[in-house]
């Protein structure tokens, strides 16, 4: 057989005239696809490796130590505050038997039955507390109360000055009774919950209402409808005004007589059925004979009585009331200077003891939850022992 011939090669296609020859694959300056893929893989591996190294180093680092706060900071500040107060009492020559400390070992509350300190001595105490490290702050939120707070605004201790009025003449108690007590609840009118709780107490406590409060009129009508005595609680200028602020509707010593009388009329119009008034703050106002005389003239014209809350040991309230022919009494015991149930119970019992000795006594307190609980707990017990709870008007009628 003749040998097979190889297939003939196809002739190459000729490019048209002027056309560029085609580029060869894989030539210089044109990397192939496998090379690009390899570069991308290497780059990803490098990034992954760097991330793993970063995480490993982060785990090796010790955790940041929390900021250590001194556990005893407040205790130390309380101790410093007590040291300052003890030094202050010694400097102002307060007798040892005039000071009550609650609790006795690490007192948070001081009760001082002595004359009030001078403004100069209080300011010196304030400056000493400011220089303490960390600084302490002395404030006077209410008459007769000095409060020391720390830099966070937390109360460290309170100092309450209680003036010691001359005891009234003893009168024999009524037959079958061992003493008569009137209890006045100040600062009512801010809400309705506390008045309703007080109305549930069977003994007749007196409602002293702040006219500026949103529910003043409603609380006055509610109390009167339930047969309870209503009083107007009148804001008056305190020592330390205007730093110590009694409110926009307060009576001030620089106001003329006619302004004082018209302002008192406006306050009375917001508290219907008021049988009398007592002062809210007023440690400066009640010392001013001219201002108090103007107020007594208005009370006499309306047939109202006056109870001196006795926020100042130099008050002329009783004297000016008697001169004007206005029936008057003075507060014997503040019941809730310490807003805790057990101290309030002790003060209620002390009020009853005064009534047993003198025939009658007047207590003033506030609608704190602790006060209401103490009244609910203690008044029925004292009533069972023969203490008679009466209104202020009934106490006045009984002499």
Residues 6+ apart with CB under 8 A from 330: 165, 168, 307, 308, 310, 317, 318, 362
CATH H superfamily, domain 179-397: Glycoside hydrolase/deacetylase (3.20.20.370)
Tell which residue, 279, 317, 271, has the closest CA to residue 186: 279
Count of Cβ atoms closer than 10 Å to residue 377 Cβ: 13
Residues with pLDDT less than 70, the chain: 1-34, 56, 58-76, 140-144, 163-177, 399
Q: What is the pLDDT of residue 73?
A: 43
Read off the tokens for 88: 């202050």
pLDDT at residue 399 in the model: 61
- The CA dihedral of 74, 78, 80, 83, to the nearest 10 degrees, is -170
pLDDT at 388: 96
Query: Read out DSSP for 263-331?
Result: HHHHHHHHSTTEEEEEEEE-TTGGG-HHHHHHHHHHHHHHT-EEEE---STT--HHHHHHHHT--EEE-
Q: What is the pLDDT of residue 306?
A: 98
Q: How many angstroms separate the CA atoms of 200 and 204, rounded?
A: 10
pLDDT score of 178: 80
CA-CA distance, 219 to 199, in Å (whole number)? Answer: 11
Q: What is the CA radius of gyration of the chain?
A: 41
In a 3-state reduction of DSSP, which class is residue 184?
Answer: strand
Distance CA 122, CA 307 (A): 28
Note whether 170 and 179 are within 8 A (CB): no
Q: Which two tokens stand for residue 283?
A: 């440690």
DSSP 71: T
Cβ atoms of 233 and 187 within 8 Å: the answer is yes
Look up the CATH number of domain 73-161.
3.30.460
What whole-number distance in Å separates Cα of residue 140 and Cα of residue 161? Answer: 12
pLDDT at 226: 94
CB 318 within 8 A of CB 289: no
Q: What is the pLDDT at residue 398?
A: 77
pLDDT of the residue at 301: 96
- Locate tokens 């061992």: which residue? 178
CB under 8 A, 24+ apart: contacts of 326-331: 326/296, 326/299, 326/300, 327/276, 327/396, 329/182, 329/305, 329/362, 329/392, 329/395, 329/396, 330/165, 330/168, 330/362, 331/184, 331/278, 331/307, 331/362, 331/363, 331/364
| Neighbour-count burial of 10, counting CB atoms closer than 10 A to its CB (0-12 exposed, 13-18 middle, 19+ buried) | exposed
pTM, entire model:
0.63
pLDDT for res 125: 87
pLDDT at 75: 46
- Residue ranges of the domains in the chain? 73-161, 179-397
Q: State residue 346's pLDDT score.
A: 95
């Amino acid at each position: 057989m003749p040998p097979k011939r190889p297939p003939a090669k196809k002739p190459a296609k000729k490019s048209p005239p002027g056309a560029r020859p085609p580029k060869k694959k894989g030539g210089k300056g044109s990397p192939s696809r496998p090379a690009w893929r390899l570069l991308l893989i290497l780059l990803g591996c490098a990034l992954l490796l760097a991330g793993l190294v970063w995480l490993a180093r982060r785990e090796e680092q010790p955790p940041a130590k929390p900021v250590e706060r001194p556990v005893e900071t407040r205790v130390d500040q309380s101790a410093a505050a007590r040291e300052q107060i003890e030094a202050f009492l010694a400097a102002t020559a307060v007798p040892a038997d005039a000071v009550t400390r609650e609790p006795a070992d690490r007192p948070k509350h001081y009760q001082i039955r002595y004359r009030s300190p001078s403004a100069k001595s209080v300011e010196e105490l304030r400056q000493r507390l400011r220089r303490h490290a960390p600084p302490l702050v002395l404030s006077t939120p209410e008459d007769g109360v000095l409060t020391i707070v720390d830099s966070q605004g937390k109360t460290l201790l309170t100092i309450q000055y209680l003036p010691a009025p001359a005891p009234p003449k003893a009168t024999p108690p009524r037959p079958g009774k061992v003493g008569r007590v009137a209890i006045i609840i100040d600062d009512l009118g801010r809400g309705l919950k506390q008045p309703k709780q007080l109305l549930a107490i069977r003994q007749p406590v007196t409602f002293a209402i702040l006219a500026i409060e949103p529910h003043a009129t409603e609380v006055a009508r509610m109390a009167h409808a339930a047969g309870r005595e209503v009083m107007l609680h009148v804001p008056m200028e305190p020592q330390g005004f205007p730093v110590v602020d009694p409110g926009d509707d307060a009576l001030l010593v620089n106001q003329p007589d006619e302004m004082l009388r018209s302002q008192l009329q406006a306050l009375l119009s917001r508290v219907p059925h008021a049988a009398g008034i007592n002062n809210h703050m007023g440690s400066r106002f009640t010392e001013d004979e001219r201002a108090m005389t103007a107020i007594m003239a208005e009370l006499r014209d309306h047939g109202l009585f006056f109870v001196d809350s006795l926020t100042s040991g130099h008050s002329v309230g009783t004297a000016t009331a008697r001169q004007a022919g206005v029936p008057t009494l003075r507060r014997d015991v503040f019941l809730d200077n310490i807003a805790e149930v057990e101290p309030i119970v002790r003060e209620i019992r002390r009020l009853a003891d005064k009534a047993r000795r003198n025939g009658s006594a007047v207590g003033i307190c506030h609608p704190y939850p602790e006060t209401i609980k103490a009244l609910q707990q203690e008044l029925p017990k004292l009533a069972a022992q023969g203490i008679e709870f009466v209104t202020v008007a009934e106490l006045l009628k009984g002499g």
